[in-house]
Every structure is written in C-alpha cells, then in structure tokens.
Structure 1
Amino acid sequence: MIQTQKKSKNDLAAKVTGNTRYLHDMNLPGQLVGGTFRSPYPHARITRLDVSKARAVKGVAAVLTAEDVPHLEFGPTKYKDWNILAKDKVLFIGDEIAVVAAETREAVDKALSLIEVEFEQLPAIFDPEDSLQEDAVEIHPGVERNRPMHVLVNRGDMDQAKQEAHIVRSGRYHSNRIYQGHMEPVGVLASWSDEEGLTLWAASHIPYRARETYAAGFGLPEDKVRIIVPPIGGSFGSKYVLKLHVTSAALSMKTGRPVKMILDRSEDMLTAHPRVPLTYDIEIGAAADGTFLYKELTVYGDAGARIYWSPNVLATACTRTDCIYNFGAIKAEGHLCYTNSSPTTCMRGFGNAETLFAVESVIDELALGLGMDPADLRMKNIVKQGETTVHGYKLDTCNLDLCIDKAKEISGWERRNELPANRGLGMALANHVSGFRAIDPRFDGSTAIMRINLDGELEIETGEIELGQGMSVTYARIAAQILGIPEGGIIVKSGDTGRYPFGIGTLASRSTVMGGNAVMKASQEMQRQIQALATQVHGEGAEFRDGQVHSDGKAFTLKDISAWYRARHAGEEFKVKETYVPDTEMPDATYFGNPSPNYPFAAHVAEVEVDPDTGRTRMIGYWAVHDSGTIIHETMAKGQVIGAVAQGIGWVLMEDFQVEEGVVRNPSMMDYRMPGAHDIPHVDIAFIQEPDPNGPMGAKSLGEVALDPVPGAIANAIAHATGKRGTRLPLSAERVWNMLQS
C-alpha cells in the first residue's frame, strides 16, 4: 500500500541507504496492471480494429479504444493536437491505439497479442524540410505545410551590415536526437473515484501544468485532478506531461480501480520524447578588427507527430544566444515542423546548448580567418554588466569577461599553439535564464509556506519540484541562514497539487531563484513574527537569534515558540505564507522583453586528443568557469557542473538516438552509448561570485547553463586538434574519421 512518506531532512541519505520509495515501490489495494497496444507503422489509417478476443481473456478488466474515451482538444501548449487514443489514423510508430488493464502482467500481454488491427499505410515524412514542401502529405488536418509554428525575428539593418562585413563565415549544422537517459523509466499509478476524482502518482516536475492538461483531456474541472509526485529517478526534461498518465487515467476511470503502468526500458525508449533535433543554416559577419556586424540564422525543428514542448525549444534557439554577444544586426527564422516520428520535447539547456554548438563553431572559424585568438575575439564582442541586450534582457550583473579571463588562466590557454599533434583546446561561452516569463503568461513566481510544527521542526512547503537537483537542500540552507537554525532541522515538502502551494514547476532553471526567493521572503517574515511573539510573551528584552528566543538568561526553542503561538491562536499552527513575484516582462510578438529576474553566464574550455587512425576523441581536461551569482551550496554546485559536463561529453562524442524511417534502431541501454567514469576527465571548476540583486542570497541559476557551452567547447577543441570542422552531432569516432579522410 501507499503510505504517507515523510520527506527526509537529508534526501541524499535516504537515497544512498535505499529508503527512498519511488513509484515502482508504491501500490494500492485492488490495483490493476496496464499495457498499451501501439502502432507498428509511422503513418497509417486504421481500417479495422477488433478487441473482442482481448476482452475475453481471463483476468482482463478493461480494453479501451478511441470509442471508449473523450475526444476533446487538449495539449500542454497552445497547440491542442493531443488525443487519448488514436481514432482514425496513427501518426508514428508507438502511437497509442488501445490500452488494457488486467489482474496480471501475463493477462495484459496475452490480451495485447489478441488485438486485431488492419491498416492502410500512408506516405510518411521524417525530415522537417520535406514536411514543408507544398506537395507534402498532411499530418494534422488544417496545419499548412505541416508547420504549426513559424518564428521571425529581425533587429537592425541586415542589408547594411552585410555590405560592411570584411569577413563572413557560415555553415549548416545539425544537432541530433538524444535520449534523456533517466535512470527511472516512465510510469504512473492512477486512481479514480466519483467522490475524489482522479489521483495520479506520477513523476512530473510540472504537476500543476500537467493537471491542467489532463483535466482538459477528460473535460474535468482542475480540482477533480490531483497529482502526487513521488521521488523522481531522473528526467532532464522528459517527464513534464506524458500520454501514459492520460491512458492510465482512462483505464482507472473505466474500471473504478487503481491502474499502474510502468514502461520497460525498450518501450520507454521506443516512445521516448527525445531532444528536439535541429538543423541550422547560420552566417556571421564581422569587421576587419573582429567586431561582429550581423548574425543570420534559419532553424528547422522536428516536433515529431505531436506537440509537447518543442515550441519553447525553437523560440529559444532563435533568440537566446543573441544575448551573449553584441552581434549588431540580427535575423532569425524558425520552422517547427510535424513529422511521423515520436514527438520530441525538452532536455536540459533546451534550444540553447545546440544553438551554441553552431554559433561557437562559426565564431572560431571567424577567429581563424582573422588570425585572432578565439578568446580575444569573444572578449571583444560580449555583452557587459548594465547593458540591455538586443532582445531586452537587463543585465544587472554580468561577469562574462571575468569568466573568460579565469578560464584562460586555469586551462593554460596560452599553450594553445604549442600543443602536440592531434591535441586541441576549444573555448565556448554560454548564457541562460533563471526562470522565463513566457513559460506561463499568467504567473511567473513562486509561493512558500513555512510552519513550526508541534515538535519544533521547521517545515517548508513549495510548489517547485525536487528531481535530484538539490532544491530541497538549497531551500533548507536559505532558511537556516536567515533563521539561524541547523539545516538538518528543516523539512522541505513538495509534489502534491492537493496539498502544497501552486508552482510553475522545475523547468527553465527556475527553482533556485523563483522558489528560493519565496523561501527567503517566508523566512524573513517568520523571523519578524517570531520576534513579535517573543516580545509579546517576554517583553521588550526578548530577542530571537540563532534559532532561539533569549530572555532573562533563558533560551527558548522553536518547540516553545510553537506552543506560545498555539496558546494564543486557538490551537492554530504557527505558519507564514509568502509569494515572490519577479519584475519580469512577457516577451512581445517580436520576442523582445526582460523575461528572467537574472541571467547566468559561463566560459568553458575543453582539451582533447584525436586519434587520426580511428577518429576516436579522448578528453584530456575540462575547465568550467561560471557567473551564477552567490553560490549557496558549493559542493552541490560543483556536482551540477560535473554532471552537465559529463552529459555534454556523452552528447558530443557518443550519444545518438538513431531513428530511421520512424523506427528506433537502438532501444536499449546496451545499444545507446552513454559516458562512463573513464570517459570523463578531471573537471576544474571556478565561480565568479558577485551577488545578484534579484536572486535569493544573491544567487543565479546553474543547472542548465553548465551544459550549454559543452558541445561548442568540445567541437572547437576537435577542430583545433584536426584542422577539420565537424558540423553534425555526435562527433563520433566514425564521423571524425570520415571527416579526416575528406
């Protein structure tokens, strides 16, 4: 049975000792097992569907098809193209046609094997540029040229800038699909009752947005959908909103019993929503002295067969990197296209890291053409503190120049031209946000509730979600520093739309700044109210400090303070509630605005050695310097950077989610190569710590900006080592070897 799981004061200790209870460990009385019958074709019309034999299997409680579920317009963004089950047509291999709930896994598998379907295969499209053609087959009715989203951004006089350019470098760059590689496969436990409505135990780190999406799919009021988030075994963007949550809910609503569905790894990868693959046509022009004059960019994004969060990725790809450099004139055009592949979605640094692969590569090509040091060319063109960028980002703090200087110092950049053969050093810069106003136009903040319980423990409730990034420890540390109590005495609770305050969720690097500011405000208000209560109880001489009230030589604990409050407020608990609302701006139709409270920056340097006989790249060293404001927890911050660098190394050198004609060719962790300990070099990390006025304790975000420069830095190092420029990720041994032979 599911038992109330008290949040640990030390989340790490619970995980290391095996006491953390993930979704796999949770069960309800009368629970059924669920399974899905999926399309074997990328694009086909369903001409016949017979589930009668499946329904007759012993132990089967329900078999649902499109005839058994609502057909309402819904989806997690403004593009409402979701369904619960495919009715007339399937759009990708793995598309959901029918779902089964039964007493046992064996009964589910037998029922699935007895479902009879006949198809009329239709022409399929797998390339975004093909989908844009006038004669391309229509994937979603009424979507012109299969393009649900078109981005156009123009700043400055592009024609004049092109005329003035002394040097131009351009190219076509490709970022690939990669699998988020979460340790815990996707799963859900759904329970329906007429009284309580729908309850989902689901590893979503945007549960309030997920609740809104799922309620719309069933035509339910939002307060009839509750999402409880168990500890999450990894996500990196994959576990926002998921069709599995919806289909399990449909089964529970039909049977009146709880239904648990957990994908095995192959099905998880078959139906995975990987990183959005992007193709870039990019051109940057500069004056003879290296001053950037313009950047022109065209982006093609593969949304797959349905919209998840790919629109945010495309918008980021077309704009974010313009706020690192002063490019002069800017032009960007983005095409988000439907194809008959599995839908794509967010992944750490989404839209920014892959664009920087292209941008930073072209900047190195400009430096080569100008005979300039790549670091000097970057330094000449970066944004500075106090500036407002071309897209309206207000840089109250920006220490990118110090990041570059420090990265050069600790990496020994001056030895770049004296390296042995086949060795190379590459640099790349990055920026990111600390929350983003356009994620939810209705609200862009966070709420924290702080209470002192009867035992004198301090509890913090938040709508943001812990998914392993260390949010709970960060919030505890902020409160501890303000209230003067040990971190170990603070419990952070989150992850229940029926109990805890509303939150946008953990995405867009928002948890530290948005949630942290709310916790800071609540801590300050709690401090004020405790002092007022102490004065009321013990007079003007009473003082609250170091987590205790001191009066007449005596010290009173939080347990005493709780008792004082309850005695004076009819037994009510001592709690405060504070909401942080940042002074951010919703970007306008041209993507101009100040969408984040503050902006982190980074400069990374990679050193590689390339084997000319095999094309294999070996990482020799890595140096990462970050401007993320005040670092609240240095050990955790360094862990974020090391993890991001490891993830980036995997992406650039080995990871490739291979999908051919809609078929996933490597749907197992044996065939999908991810980095191990021996693939990661020592990562030397430094922080430029200037407190930011808009962050809690002066902090800015770190988790995503730590990945953003990695592809560009490694690609530039490989180009420096070989004299050859790789333009398609991953830069695997085979691809680098072929590049060297050309």
Structure 2
Amino acid sequence: MTSNVKSPHAHMNKLSGKTKFIEDMNLPGQLIGGILRSPHPHANIVRIDTTKAKAIDGVVAVITAADVPHPPFGPTRFKDWNILAEERVLFIGDEVAAVAAESKAALEAALEAIEVEYEVLPAIFETEDAMLEDAPVLHSSAPDNRPMHLQLERGDVKVGKEKAAVVRGGTYVINPIYQGHLEPIAAIASWSEEDGVTLWAGSHIPYLARETYAAAFGLPEDKVRIIIPPIGGSFGAKYVLKMHLIACALSKAAARPVKIVLNRTEDMISAHPRVPLKMEVEIGADEEGRFVYKDATVYANAGARIYWSPNIVATACTRPDGVYHFQNVRAEGHLCYTNISPTTCMRGFGNAEMLFAVESIIDELAEALEMDPSEIRMKNIVREKDVTIHGYQLDSCKLDQCIEKVKEISGWERKKDLPPNRGLGMALGNHVSGFRGIDPRFEGSTAVITLSSAGELIVQTGEIELGQGMTQTYATIAAKELGISADQILVKSGDTERNPFGIGTLASRSTVMGGNAVHLAAKEVKRKMLELVKETTGEDGVFCYEGIQVNDRVLTLEELAASYRGLHAGDQLTVRATYSPDTDRPDKTYYGHPSPNYPFTAHVAEVEVDPDTGRVKLVGYWAVHDSGTIINEVGAKSQVYGAVAQGIGWVTMEELKVKEGRVQNPTIMDYRMPGAADIPPIEIAFIDGSDPHGPFGAKSVGEVAIDPVPGAIANAIAQAIGKRGRALPLNPEAVWRLANDYE
C-alpha cells in the first residue's frame, strides 16, 4: 500500500484508473467514521449528550473530548492543538465529537442524535480586530491573539528613504484560496494495544506527522506507523491533519479499523486554505532606478490554531528580498488568531504572495522613472556569486538570462504598441531547494538502494511522491549514474516503518535533497557491483543498458544478485547514503544560507480585458526558468504548466468566500477553478546551466513556477485598463470596478 513507482508503469496505472487511493482501500472489519462539527465560530460547550447516538443499531463507538488525551501538542512550536474540542469551539467546522459505525446510515443517524448545547461567544475574523484591546482571547498562550510578531531590519531604512527620488507602494491583499486537490482528504486507522496505531493517510511529511501524532496520544514514535498510499494532489493541504488523529482515536475506541473520507463540502468548510495576508509594502528608488529600500508590514490570519502559518509569515518577510538588491530592508509580521478555520501553506509558501506586491510596485516605479519595466528589473537583480541581504549564497544564478530570454520569446518590445484593453506584464521569482529551518535537528535526505533477487534496483527514500513525478526523477538519477534503463529501477517511499527517515516533500526539496541522496547511493552501489564483477569473473566490467558488460558478455542484474547472495549467506546487496547540505539554519534575525541552491525565473503574461464586463482573458504566457540541469524535461515543463494554470485561477477567479466565519461557497460548483478554456498557450524555456550543489546540477522548479504568476498577470491587467488592482482575486467584478472608478 506504499507508494511504489516503477517507471513508466505507475503513470499508466493512473491513466487507466488502476491506481488505488485511500478511498479505494478497505481493511477487514473496517468501520465508517464521521465527525460532528461546530455550527458556531466561537462558543462554550455547555453540555454534550451522546446517549441516543450510542443506542443506534450499528454504532460501535462515539467519542468526545472526554474520551481522548489532552497533552499540549501541535506540528510547530505553538502547541495549541487538540484531538476534539474540549471547553470551547473556535471556528465553524471545529471537531466536537466523532462516530464509528457499521454503515453510512447508522453513522449519519448517530451524528444527528448527538446533543450539544452551546453558549455563543463574541467572535473575531480579521487580524486588525484580533489585536484590539477588548478582543476575545482565543488561546491563553497569546493574550493579545498574536502568537508571532516578527521584526527585522538590515541596513538603515531611514537612510534609504532619504536617498529615494521616487517611492511607490500600497496595501496588498491576498485572498484565501482552497488547494483544490482532486483526491479527497481521507484516512484509515487501525489501533492495536500491542503494536500501537497504523495510519494510512495522505501526508507529504509523514515522519514529522508521526512525531505530532505520537505526542497527541502519549505514545513513543515507534508505536505510530504512517503508510502513504498514492496521493492525488495536495499543494500544501495534506501535511498534518486533525482528522487523522480522530480516525486513530475512533479505532482505539472501537477496537477495529476506521476509515474516514471527507466529502468536498465538509473538506471546504473545515479546509485549511492559503493564509490570508494584508501587506503594507513600500519601495524607494533613486534617480537612476536603483532600489534604496523596501519596507513591509504583513498581517497574517492564522485562523483558530497554528498549522504552518508562522512559516508563511517568515517567508513573506524575507525570501522575496533574494530577487533584488534593495540595499536596506525592514519587515514586520503580525500573525493573529481568529475564529476561522486554521490556515496553512499552499504552493508558493508566502513568497508568491509578497512578490505580487513587490512586482506590482516595481512596475509603478518604472512608470514614474519613465523606464521599461524590464530595464529597472535588470538594473537591480541579484546575480551569480552574490550573497543576498539575508545571507543566501548564489553559487548559480542566471536570472539576467531569464529576463533576456522571456523578452525574446514573448515579443516584449511590442508592449508599447498593444491595442486598447491589451496588456503585457512581467514579473520575476525565486525560491529554495530545501530549507534548513524546517527541522533544526536535521536537513538532508537518505536513500537506500538494494539489488533484489529479481534483478531490480530498489530505491527507498523518505521523501514523498505527491503526483509531482519525484519517483520518476529518482529513477532517472539512479539510471543515469549507472548507465542502465530506468525500467530496472523501482522507487519506494511512504512507510515510516520500512523506509529511511525523511523531512518530506515541502520547500521544493525533493529533487535536490532526495535526488542528491539517490545519486550518492547510486555511486556506491555502482562501485560495489563492479567490485562484485571483478571478484566473480576476475575481469573489469562496464555498465550498459542491459546490465554489466564483461568482455563480450553481458551479466544481467539478476545474475549479479544471485552471485552476491551466494557469497553473502543469502543477503541482498544494499547500500545506504545520506546527503547533508552545507547550509545554515537562519538565526534569530532570519539571516543565513538555508538552501543548497536557489532557482530563479522570469515570466510574462498577456491579457485582454473586456471593459464592459471586467473579464480577463489570458492571451499568452511565457515562462523562462533557471532550474539548473533539467533531469526530466517533460516533468519540469509539467510543473510549470500546472503552476501557471493554478496561478491563473488564484489571480483571476478563485476565492474561498468567508463571511463571519462561514464559508459561502463550499462546493466545486460554487468555487470556480480554471478549466482548459481558461488557460492560454504557454511557452516554456529553461536556461542551460549546472548548479554545483544539485544532482547532475539540478535545482528545484515546482514552487518557483507559481511565484511570479500573480505579479505578471496583475501588471498585464494594469496596462490593459490603466488602473492597478492591489487585492486578489482580480475577478471580473473587481476589474470592472477598477476600470470604471467604481468603489
């Protein structure tokens, strides 16, 4: 049930519908689980009566907070989680009770029969209200409702402001959006008093999730096993989830396996969307267009509990400063509790959000200085061998080439001659290839390669396949080092008991971190296999497509496996390699070199706006990337296509509409995401180049590809209508209001 990929058959299984996701899986004796959720954004729980629910035929277990442990726990240093709500509910959808039953009918009847009496309390929904002196306190650990307050300054912003000849800026608003993964949130839990709990669930950080779940139940980590079946998309949603814990608690209470599958509406009302941000950003430039300072204040809505929102705030306040030399920067971040569903990460992870503001302001500075937007960018960008203001060491950076190439393929020079209601917009982006600050104890990755008796090379990793093609990339890396067919390589991951420890798939780390580990392991297994050939034949061998060439004979991998087992008491040839990058954990001021390398990109969007309706049509899109050596070009291009499509939805149509804590559009019918007709022709190019710290010179591509999209589209719309939108989404109503000066 783990994620095993043998190129290319796994892709064919998905295309043919043979891949089994959690919803397709069942265990003997399995029960159906469900969750009773709060109808109020903030209320005391006065009374819960489960008597009637327990009496329903087919109901096996009904649990409330009284039936589960209550240690302080959570996936970050903010230990504000619970398994089920204790004294208060903190958002509409908060988990109050849970049921395990033999049938769906019994489950639904039991959930309906649970009696809960609430005392409704005043609620807060916006960060500004959360920080008011008389605001209700959501967590005693943060009496001002502000669990995180970030402040940093490099250089002297006051001096920078004195040097500025032109200043532009404003307030930029980032909309909460739903990750929109095709596979629903689901889990199966099986509790054994002897062995602990086994959880089948979608998570791309299973080892960190295991640590959180063990803490929740007071178990040692080796009593929690997490198995990851194929994941049908995540984009940040499937990290660590309370419904996983509830499935485990139900299984313990029922003494049987329990499966919970959230329907789309339930998922969306309790979803953990992209963190809503309000950003006050200002940038100054001198007469020549050199940036002299950047000043930013970020207000972030964490919702009712902390998921990964602190990381989003820190990223928004720092990472975009790695694209340009601002010389002096100041940032302040306020993360606040409110009575909405807890918010979390989504592709771009705070970087894309701040770049929306930065790239918009840069276009305004260019206009004020009568400069081409590409020229002012080229004047200020970071370059190879630079060290950024926050300490990022750029051993490779071809951002200048990205700008020149995207101008060429988009026909940038026609920008000044476009007809009315048409616009071309440019934006730049950067990202990381892993991040030292995720877990201070370890950063890197381990790979194990085994030569099986069947003649397959089995690669095991702790990184997780999300559908992004990681396992295909690992097979390609190993095959390239060995000089054999990728069809002879099987990649396994997603079992905390069997596979090596891994930080997981986040921070765009899988290709560089996991890929480097696979590359090291492949080198070692290659050395051992050639030693084996020398030992058994007395001759030197050379790897070839079918196996190892020895004179005029080819030894197959199956023959080599048999030889090794015969010489080593039946053991299989196995190697283990760990890649640990020479990076720094950022200090208390967020200074450091946290990633082995950094990808860069330049995008151009072309739009046509209907002035009568405000509808934005993407006419064309061009994306040029510096992602080092491209290991799998089809996969890399697919990442860019998907990121641009996702960004188009984010900027032009998507928004999880929440009013007084209640999601107004909790279905896919009401939550509009882009379809094929919304996506323009997209031209993609990669700049040739190798980074010294990536496998075969590779850098990441998955997240950096969305980072410039909001800025590029917003800048194109601004040219088309002559007005600038500073709040996402720039949907037809918003664009029409801008174009017609209608507040």
TM-score (norm 2): 0.99
Identify the residue that residue 676 of structure 1 maps to in structure 2.
675
Is the contact made by 2:2 and 2:228 (CA closer than 8 Å) also made in structure 1? no
Identify the residue that residue 310 of structure 1 maps to in structure 2.
309
Identify the residue that residue 265 of structure 1 maps to in structure 2.
264
Which stretch of the first structure deviates more once superposed, 501-510 or 546-555?
Answer: 546-555
Identify the residue that residue 555 of structure 1 maps to in structure 2.
554
Identify the residue that residue 481 of structure 1 maps to in structure 2.
480
Matches of 2:165 and 2:525 in 1, distance apart?
61
1:410-439 deviation per Cα after TM superposition (whole angstroms, max 9, x unaligned):
000001000000100000000000000001
Q: Structure 1 residue 5: deviation in Å?
A: 7.8
Is the contact made by 1:530 and 1:544 (CA closer than 8 Å) also made in structure 2? no
Matches of 1:433 and 1:514 in 2, distance apart?
11
Identify the residue that residue 62 of structure 1 maps to in structure 2.
61
Q: Structure 1 residue 717: deviation in Å?
A: 0.2
| Paired residue type of 1:80 | K
Identify the residue that residue 154 of structure 2 maps to in structure 1.
155
1:165-221 deviation per Cα after TM superposition (whole angstroms, max 9, x unaligned):
100001000001000000011010000012221000000010000000000000000
Identify the residue that residue 25 of structure 2 maps to in structure 1.
26
Q: Structure 1 residue 534: deviation in Å?
A: 1.1
| Paired residue type of 1:520 | H
Q: Give the % identical residues.
A: 63
Identify the residue that residue 625 of structure 2 maps to in structure 1.
626
Q: 1:539 to 1:278 in 2, by over 3 A?
A: same
Q: Structure 1 residue 255: deviation in Å?
A: 1.2
Indicate the SS of the match to 1:437: coil
Identify the residue that residue 502 of structure 2 maps to in structure 1.
503
1:600-639 deviation per Cα after TM superposition (whole angstroms, max 9, x unaligned):
0000000001111111111010000000000001111111
Q: Structure 1 residue 548: deviation in Å?
A: 2.7
Is the contact made by 2:437 and 2:594 (CA closer than 8 Å) also made in structure 1? yes
Matches of 2:237 and 2:591 in 1, distance apart?
28
Matches of 1:638 and 1:541 in 2, distance apart?
40
Is the contact made by 2:424 and 2:606 (CA closer than 8 Å) also made in structure 1? yes
Identify the residue that residue 571 of structure 2 maps to in structure 1.
572
Identify the residue that residue 538 of structure 1 maps to in structure 2.
537
Identify the residue that residue 459 of structure 1 maps to in structure 2.
458
Identify the residue that residue 708 of structure 1 maps to in structure 2.
707
Matches of 1:71 and 1:423 in 2, distance apart?
58
Identify the residue that residue 592 of structure 1 maps to in structure 2.
591
Identify the residue that residue 470 of structure 1 maps to in structure 2.
469
Instruction: Give 1:368-517 correspondences, 5 Å limit.
Output: 368-517=367-516
Gaps of 5+ in 2: none
Q: Structure 1 residue 291: deviation in Å?
A: 0.4
Q: Structure 1 residue 546: deviation in Å?
A: 4.3
Matches of 1:30 and 1:239 in 2, distance apart?
26
Q: Structure 1 residue 4: deviation in Å?
A: 7.7
| Paired residue type of 1:249 | C
Q: Structure 1 residue 444: deviation in Å?
A: 0.5
Matches of 1:387 and 1:648 in 2, distance apart?
29
Matches of 1:458 and 1:164 in 2, distance apart?
61
Matches of 2:638 and 2:321 in 1, distance apart?
28
Matches of 1:127 and 1:278 in 2, distance apart?
10
Large movers: runs of 4+ above 3 Å:
3-9, 540-547
Q: Structure 1 residue 541: deviation in Å?
A: 3.9
Identify the residue that residue 9 of structure 1 maps to in structure 2.
7
| Paired residue type of 1:605 | V
Instruction: Give 1:646-725 correspondences, 5 Å limit.
Output: 646-725=645-724
Matches of 2:143 and 2:112 in 1, distance apart?
38
Identify the residue that residue 360 of structure 1 maps to in structure 2.
359
Q: 2:111 aligned with 1:112, yes or no?
A: yes
TM-score (norm 1): 0.99
Indicate the SS of the match to 2:203: coil
Matches of 2:678 and 2:607 in 1, distance apart?
12
Q: Structure 1 residue 485: deviation in Å?
A: 1.0
Identify the residue that residue 299 of structure 1 maps to in structure 2.
298
Q: Structure 1 residue 6: deviation in Å?
A: 5.5
1:681-719 deviation per Cα after TM superposition (whole angstroms, max 9, x unaligned):
000001002100000010000000000000000000000
Backbone CA RMSD of aligned residues: 1.0
| Paired residue type of 2:478 | A
Matches of 2:241 and 2:585 in 1, distance apart?
27
Q: Structure 1 residue 551: deviation in Å?
A: 2.8
Which stretch of the first structure deviates more once superposed, 165-174 or 533-542?
Answer: 533-542
Matches of 2:538 and 2:718 in 1, distance apart?
72
1:444-491 deviation per Cα after TM superposition (whole angstroms, max 9, x unaligned):
000111111111111100000001100011001111111111111211
Q: 1:6 to 1:335 in 2, by over 3 A?
A: closer
Q: 1:536 to 1:340 in 2, by over 3 A?
A: same
Matches of 1:428 and 1:78 in 2, distance apart?
35
The number of residue pairs the alignment matches comes to 740
Matches of 1:194 and 1:116 in 2, distance apart?
31
Indicate the SS of the match to 1:404: helix
Indicate the SS of the match to 2:237: coil
Q: Structure 1 residue 71: deviation in Å?
A: 0.5
Is the contact made by 1:305 and 1:338 (CA closer than 8 Å) also made in structure 2? yes
Matches of 2:584 and 2:491 in 1, distance apart?
30
Q: Structure 1 residue 729: deviation in Å?
A: 0.2
Q: 2:568 aligned with 1:601, yes or no?
A: no
Indicate the SS of the match to 2:437: helix
Matches of 1:449 and 1:342 in 2, distance apart?
39
Matches of 2:63 and 2:466 in 1, distance apart?
32
Matches of 2:2 and 2:577 in 1, distance apart?
26
1:556-602 deviation per Cα after TM superposition (whole angstroms, max 9, x unaligned):
11111111111111110011110000101000000000000000000
1:255-296 deviation per Cα after TM superposition (whole angstroms, max 9, x unaligned):
110000000110011110000010000110110110000000
Is the contact made by 1:297 and 1:318 (CA closer than 8 Å) also made in structure 2? yes
Q: Structure 1 residue 545: deviation in Å?
A: 4.4
Matches of 1:554 and 1:185 in 2, distance apart?
52
Matches of 2:543 and 2:363 in 1, distance apart?
57
Is the contact made by 1:8 and 1:14 (CA closer than 8 Å) also made in structure 2? no
Q: Structure 1 residue 369: deviation in Å?
A: 0.6
Identify the residue that residue 188 of structure 1 maps to in structure 2.
187
| Paired residue type of 2:490 | I
Matches of 2:44 and 2:551 in 1, distance apart?
82
Is the contact made by 1:534 and 1:543 (CA closer than 8 Å) also made in structure 2? no
Q: Structure 1 residue 547: deviation in Å?
A: 5.3
Q: Structure 1 residue 553: deviation in Å?
A: 2.3
